[in-house]
Structure 1
Amino acid sequence: MKSLALFALLLAATLSAHAKDSGLAYVSSEKDHAITLVDLKTLAVVGTIPTCKRPRHMQRLAGDTQLMVACSDSGRADLIDLATRRSVGSMALGDDPEVFDLSPDGTAAYVSAEDDGALNVFDLVTKKQRGSVPLGKEPEGVTVSADGRRVYVTSEVANMVHVVDAGTLQVVKNIAVGKRPRRFAFSADGSELWVTNELGSSVSIISVRDLAVVATVPFDVKGMRADDITPVGLTLSRDGKTMYVGLGRANHVAFVDVATRKTTQLVLVGKRAWGLALNRDGSRLFVVNGLSDDMTVVDTASAKALKTLAVGRVPHTVVVDD
């Protein structure tokens, strides 16, 4: 019996070790109701994980052993064990959850509820809803400040960023930005919050201290109309000097110098460049393309696309685990 118990402990430890740094990219596929697995060394698809209906945004939970997947058509989150690559549980999230962020201590999830026009807060320990904050129509992007005191939420219809006090769950300010704001990224020092404006062909930059827009970065792609430049996903380089912005239907990723707020490079990728993620050292940028059903891997040093591979129908989010 003791040997069996010891074997079980060793097995659990082994699985836990393999759960981290799996060497995979996980890509949610809205139409396939699955997560596609991509080997980061070979850049080849090595499997899929069935999940709930219309998986969209994903994040690793505290401890990096599970992946939380928001499924809009199921109204819940699927919890995927990264060691076994299987669903190990779920949590109700209400109607049409899309994007979420986690509290710094990993105990709460802040989820945009598009149909309800609200930010819903869930306890990740009890898997129960803690509260709800009414917002403008069609809230989408969500990000939590590093200290956990504020939650920022975009409202696509109101063209605003709502600033929510995480302690009181009250809106402390509404900030007007560009047309149809979507996603966020903080600057390296946390003083600026960059917001993509999908129908404004731009990014608004918010001063976190003043809670006001201090600059706008417009985008221009030769041969394309402004209406075709629809930025959504963005992520900051590891050195904090470059903001990578997916330009949606413009089928490019823009490299924006954070200091000068100027575009320095444009990289051609797939159709409707959407979700973005970097590997650990920042040498590769992974771009999911929602209308060409693929993902482009970009070498950030040379600003060149290395490979584009099919990753399921309507990919939404990529999480890199290296």
Structure 2
Amino acid sequence: MISHTRAALLALLLVGAGGSRADEAFVTNQAEDDLSVLDLDTGKAVATIPIGGKPAGVAVSADGARVYVTSPDGKALSIVDAAARKLLHRMPLEGGPLGVAVHPSGSPVYVADWYASRIMVVDPEKREVTGRIEVGKSPSGLAVTPDGKLLLSADRESNQVSIIDLATEKVLAAVPVGEHPFGVTIDAEGKRAYTANVTSNDVSVIDIAARKVVGTVPVGERPYVVGLANGRAFVTDQYAGQVSVFDTATLRPLKDVPVGEYPEGLQASRDGKRVYVVNWASNTVTVIDSETLKSVGEMKTGDGPRAFGLFIRPTAPIQQRP
């Protein structure tokens, strides 16, 4: 039998360690029609969840309870119970669902229709489309501001980012950016957005309040997604097999980090210490130290991983150091 003193000490140690379960990555494997669930502490796959329909886009709710997956070929949005690692429902959608984002409150879910130049507003509890927002041609990446007031859509074939008021579901502005924007990312303050422009090989930096581009940063060939950590922007350059890194304050390039083949999805850990890069053709996730800008590990996935969106699931609150 454990004494009260030892039990209390054990509880303190567990709290100090931030809980017994690590954050997880939910990676869409397009060629295998499933999700790999990766333990980010061990770097090992802990589950595989069948999805179907060539899954591509992914979004984890802020509380980590649900994972939403788009299947462009299967014309569906899959709803996954993250803790149980179980598919709850596969909701049919028209068009070509690709980019996906979740409101900070957990509902609604926004899905970009690649073919119809619109964003579908989905109630995940009722499992129905409650609205449609017309945007530019071929919307791809989506991102919601931290306050939940605005939605940004990278409209690939219109070379613009649509800024949408979520209270009215109306487009406030269409901001011209580089050629063929794909991924769009908003900083933690909700002040700036970064869009990866696939064919102009650069990143547009948008002042959201001013609704204009305030900087353009050249990167490697065929950039797809931007992630933010440690005052730096990390950009997957698909054709170059690297991640371009630049300083978000000065917009000066810092380094090109070699990763796997055809990197696409990218997201930083919640503490900003690690950046996880999903390599589509290598079937791997490269781990980058955001301070040293060096690769520090690699994880195996299924075949054809994309993880286009926010794919890291928080499993416990970050413990603050005294």
Fold conserved (TM > 0.5)? yes
After the TM superposition, which residues 57-72 of structure 1 pair with which residues of structure 2 at under 5 Å, given as runs? 64-72=22-30
> How many angstroms apart in 2 are the aligned matches of 1:207 and 1:315?
32
SS across alignment from 1:193: strand
Q: Which residue of 1 aligns with 2:291?
A: none
> How many angstroms apart in 1 are the aligned matches of 2:153 and 2:166?
12
Match of 2:235 among 267, 287, 304: 287
SS across alignment from 2:253: strand
Q: How has the CA–CA distance of structure 1 residues 139 and 107 changed in structure 2, closer, same or farther, with 3 Å as cutoff?
A: same
Q: Name the aligned partner's letter for residue 253 of structure 1.
A: V
RMSD: 2.4
After the TM superposition, which residues 1-322 of structure 1 pair with which residues of structure 2 at under 5 Å, given as runs? 17=17, 64-219=22-177, 229-279=179-229, 281=230, 283-321=231-269, 322=273
Q: How has the CA–CA distance of structure 1 residues 234 and 98 changed in structure 2, closer, same or farther, with 3 Å as cutoff?
A: same
SS across alignment from 2:48: strand
> How many angstroms apart in 2 are the aligned matches of 1:175 and 1:147?
20
Q: Name the aligned partner's letter for residue 266 of structure 2.
A: V
> How many angstroms apart in 2 are the aligned matches of 1:124 and 1:187?
23
Is the 1:298–1:306 Cα contact (8 Å) retained in structure 2?
yes
Q: How has the CA–CA distance of structure 1 residues 316 and 102 changed in structure 2, closer, same or farther, with 3 Å as cutoff?
A: same
State the identity %: 31
Deviations along 1:189-210, one digit per CA (max 9) or x if unpaired, are 3211010001110011111001
Q: Which runs of 5+ in 1 are unaligned?
A: 21-62, 221-228
Q: Which runs of 5+ in 2 are unaligned?
A: 274-322
By how many angstroms is 1:17 displaced?
Answer: 4.4
Is the 2:23–2:40 Cα contact (8 Å) retained in structure 1?
yes
By how many angstroms is 1:103 displaced?
Answer: 2.9
Q: How has the CA–CA distance of structure 1 residues 134 and 95 changed in structure 2, closer, same or farther, with 3 Å as cutoff?
A: closer
By how many angstroms is 1:255 displaced?
Answer: 1.0
Q: Name the aligned partner's letter for residue 155 of structure 2.
A: N
By how many angstroms is 1:74 displaced?
Answer: 1.1
Q: Name the aligned partner's letter for residue 67 of structure 1.
A: A
By how many angstroms is 1:245 displaced?
Answer: 1.2
- The 10-residue stretch of structure 1 (189-198 or 239-248) with the greater mean CA deviation from structure 2: 239-248
- The 10-residue stretch of structure 1 (164-173 or 97-106) with the greater mean CA deviation from structure 2: 97-106
Q: Name the aligned partner's letter for residue 191 of structure 2.
A: K
